[in-house]
Every structure is written in structure tokens, then in C-alpha cells.
Amino acid sequence: MTVVLRIHGPELDVTRVRALIPAARVEHEWRRGEAGRLDRTMTTSGLSMLLSQEDTDGASMREATSALDELLPRIAEFLGDGVVAELDIALHVGPERPRSLVLDGALLQRALTYDLRVVATAYPTAEEAE
């Protein structure tokens, strides 16, 4: 499971946000007007921060919650007025690898407190031959 915090908005000052968070957390950043994927022009500025990449769901949620405690107070001033924060949870699934998403109360409380969107996406994986 991979958990990413993404913050973006048309007027977000990415440079100011970057100054407040550890550089090691930043996974990707973009600015409005830049060319994005498929040669589309970016309509917002933003960045993605890696919170967790653990094999077990419980460990991943604990690590993500701890990272949110570190990051959310630092970026809270930027939220609102068109700037959105999303908690993006990627589940890797396959025919022999079903997954359930369990969100604990601590993580949900942070999502409510900071008005985070929570997005969960299942990505198919190639099963290893036995």
C-alpha cells in the first residue's frame, strides 16, 4: 500500500510550501502552465508527498498518520480558497491478492480536521508464477 498527500490549487505557492516541509517527503511537484502528462498544460500548481509505502496495511496507516501529524500543521495555512489536499491511497490487487481498505479513526480524524479528500485506487498487479 502506498499513501501520498497531494496539495494543489491554481494559486498555490509551491516554493513557500516546499520551504515548510522536509525535502525527502516531496515525491513530485508541478506549476500551473507547465506541460504535464500527455502534453496537457497544468491548470494548478501543487506537490505530492510520500507518506508511506509499507507491505502491511496496519503499518502503512500508522506511518501515514504519523506523517500527517508532521505535515498538516505546516501546510494548513495554504488550504482553502481553491487549494485542496488529498490523501491518495493506492492498493495493489490481483486475482489471488484481494485487498480491503481499513481506515483507522486516527487517520479519519485528521482527514476531517483538515478537510482532506480521501481517494483510494486499486491497481492490478502481475501475479508471480509459482
Within a domain: 78: yes
Residue 128 has pLDDT above 60, yes or no: no
pLDDT (tens digit, 9 = 90+) per residue, 12-61?
999 999 999 999 999 999 999 988 777 788 999 999 999 998 877 778 88
Give dist(CA 87, CA 113) in Å, integer: 13
Mean pLDDT score, 89-94:
85
Q: Is residue 7 part of a domain?
A: yes
Does the residue 30 lie in any domain? yes
Tell me the mean pLDDT in the region 72-101: 87
What pLDDT shows up at residue 127? 59
Condensed to tens digits (0 to 9), the pLDDT of residues 64-79 reads 999 999 999 999 999 9
What Å distances lie between residue 125 and 25, 91, 94, CA to CA? 25, 10, 5
Q: Which residues span the domain enclosing 113?
A: 2-124
Assess if residue 130 is contained within a domain.
no
Residue 60 lies in a domain: yes
Domains contained in the chain, number? 1
Query: Which of 67-71, 85-89, 97-101 shows the lowest mean pLDDT across its residues?
Result: 97-101
Q: Is 77 exposed, middle or buried (0-12, 13-18, 19+ CB in 10 A)?
A: exposed
130 pLDDT band (50/70/90 cuts)?
Answer: very low
* pLDDT band with cut points at 50, 70 and 90 for residue 99: confident
Cα–Cα distance between 51 and 74 in angstroms, integer?
15
Q: Is 70 a domain residue?
A: yes
Cell of 72: 498538516
Sign of the alpha-carbon dihedral angle for 121, 82, 28, 37 = positive
Write down the pTM of the prediction: 0.84
CA distance 106 to 66: 10
Any domain includes 129: no
